[in-house]
Amino acid sequence: MMNSRRSLLDTSDWGCDMHGRDLPRRSVASRRGFMKGGALALVGTSVIPSFLLRSVMAEATTAAANRKKLVVLFQRGAADGLNIVVPYQEKNYYAMRPSIALQQKDVLDLDGFFGLHPAMAAFKPLYQEGHLAIIHAAGSTDTTRSHFDAQDYMESGTPGVKSTPDGWLNRALVDGPAPSGPGGKPSAFRAVALGTQVPRTLQGKVPAIAVTNLADFSVGGKGAQPSAISNAFEAMYDQSTDAVLHGTGQETFEAVKMLKSADPAKYQPAAGVTYPNTPFGSSLKQIAQLLKANLGVEAAFTDIGGWDTHQNQGGATGQLANRLTEFSNGIAAFWKDMGAESENITLVTMSEFGRTARQNGTGGTDHGHANVMFVLGGQVRGGKVYGKWPGLSDGQLNEGRDLAVTTDFRKVLGEAAYKTLGSRNMEIVFPGAQVRPSEFLNFV
């Protein structure tokens, strides 16, 4: 299905489908530790001088120039891709999952072979309208079943290599077009994460900021005297003789002041939009607010946990279904909230690995291998399940127990970065992965 928002002049290939059809510190060293990865969590602030407001506004030009933004969502805990996008025509799927398999009558059919979990009803219209693409059997080339290692590899973009100092999304920004603001500076909000600290994904040369709550501007919760704390931090960085620390710290405080001017506590989503009343829903709502404020955001990140379903996973209802309802409703609300701006957004989801094809003895699933990824956006060629389906017969399973990986997750993230952020050197973004634009799936 062609995307109604895409230009009629777009004639690029679609690629084949799944079936082959077609706290202040005193020393410089401790300050550097607090700013791990070139980033600093936001704290409270006070009044905004008009000259500073004008300065920050002038800097919000890089993302505004191309207007494209990449939003990355991490499903931490290893989501069960087989019960999220169900291969309901696979007989062995039912044999291996006698009590947790989704029956054909319950799934939301996508293409006659795959169907969405019924808890993801909010995704069905996005798929039908051509804005949501699905990549199944995607994952890492590394076979670890450790949450910690797998998440680290996926966020660094270098499976099997623990020494990588930065994250793939930060490198994608480094490789993207040069900042075009005054003095070659990007907006202080170029890279932002919703959370208490900057994630591995965004650590690196490009300064990134972590926001716990736009209305509070706090580190790990509300402080007793946020303005005083902020002033102490700002004075510390102003007096620093370390040029790197001074520059990054100043940008962070400018970002805080800019945010306060938008009065985030009074933000109202678009008419008819209701986000889940959860931390994940709140994060998506705040990302929408940041994007709408035109502060120069190019990349945004947040995550959602609770996917480690070793016990009592459930089928059409239960533990996984509840998490999927929150997940899909939150993303659908974000999409609707962005309105016309969704044309310039690409949102991609990922999880460290999938789960075993067979259910275990406690009504759950254990750590697996391949998984499913979603890509949503105004320029996305959706309404299709991409990649190569490996099958679920016993002889087709990875190590005799998991869905096999047929699409390297870096190929998916690489295409998103290439076509959204303008990253061109994939060897910089994903060193050693041999991610070639000529081999993209062409979902964007």
In this predicted model, what pLDDT tens digit does every residue of 41-60 receive, in sequence order? 443 332 333 333 343 444 34
Q: Is 218 contained in some domain? A: no
45's tokens: 């602030």
Query: What confidence tier does 201 reach under pLDDT thresholds 50, 70, 90?
Result: very high
**Residues ≥6 apart with Cβ < 8 Å to 52:** 254, 257
Query: What confidence tier does 168 reach under pLDDT thresholds 50, 70, 90?
Result: very high
* pLDDT score recorded for residue 48: 34
Cα–Cα dist 346/416, whole Å? 7
* pLDDT score recorded for residue 14: 40
* pLDDT score recorded for residue 115: 98
| Average pLDDT over the chain, rounded to an integer | 81
Q: Is 22 contained in some domain? A: no
Per-residue pLDDT at 391 exceeds 50: yes
Q: Is 1 contained in some domain? A: no
H, E, C per residue of the chain: CCCCCCCCCCCCCCCCECCCCCCCCCCHHHHHHHCCCCEEECCCCCCCCHHHHHHHHHHCCHHHHHCCEEEEEEECCCCCHHHHEEECCCHHHHHHCCCCCCCCCCCEECCCCEEECHHHHHHHHHHHCCCEEEEEEEECCCCCCCHHHHHHHHHHCCCCCCCCCCCHHHHHHHHCCCCCCHHHCCCCCCEEEECCCCCHHHCCCCCEEEECCCCCCCCCCCCCCHHHHHHHHHHHHHHCCCHHHHHHHHHHHHHHHHHHHCCHHHCCCCCCCCCCCCHHHHHHHHHHHHHHCCCCCCEEEEEECCCCCCCCCCCCCCHHHHHHHHHHHHHHHHHHHHHHHHHHEEEEEEECCCEECCCCCCCCCCECCCEEEEEEECCCCCCEEECCCCCCCHHHCECCCECCCCEEHHHHHHHHHHHHHCCCCHHHHCCCCCCCHHHCCCCC
Per-residue pLDDT at 262 exceeds 90: no
Mean pLDDT (whole number) for 160-188 = 82
* pLDDT score recorded for residue 196: 87
b/e for 250-271, b at 16 or more Cβ within 10 A? ebbbbbbbbbbeeebeebebee
> Where residue 180 sits, what CATH number does that domain have?
3.40.720
Number of domains making up the chain: 1
Q: Is 334 contained in some domain? A: yes
Per-residue pLDDT at 383 exceeds 50: yes
Cα–Cα dist 64/85, whole Å? 35
* pLDDT score recorded for residue 193: 94
Q: Is 58 contained in some domain? A: no
Q: What residues form DSSP beta bridges with 70?
A: 299, 346
Q: Among 296, 229, 223, 225, which residue's Cα sits nearest to residue 259?
A: 296
Percent of the chain with pLDDT over 70: 72
Mean pLDDT (whole number) for 396-406 = 98
Query: What confidence tier does 176 reach under pLDDT thresholds 50, 70, 90?
Result: confident
Q: Is 313 contained in some domain? A: yes
Query: What confidence tier does 194 reach under pLDDT thresholds 50, 70, 90?
Result: very high
Q: Given CA atoms 378, 384, 387, 389 in this order, what sign does their dihedral have? A: positive
* pLDDT score recorded for residue 19: 47
Query: What confidence tier does 352 reach under pLDDT thresholds 50, 70, 90?
Result: very high
* pLDDT score recorded for residue 212: 84
Per-residue pLDDT at 408 exceeds 70: yes
Q: Is 62 contained in some domain? A: no
- The domain of 356 spans 69-205+281-439
In this predicted model, what pLDDT tens digit does every residue of 180-192 receive, in sequence order? 544 556 777 899 9
Distance of alpha carbon 224 from its chain centroid, rounded? 32
* pLDDT score recorded for residue 184: 54
CB atoms within 10 A of CB 50: 7
Q: Is 61 contained in some domain? A: no
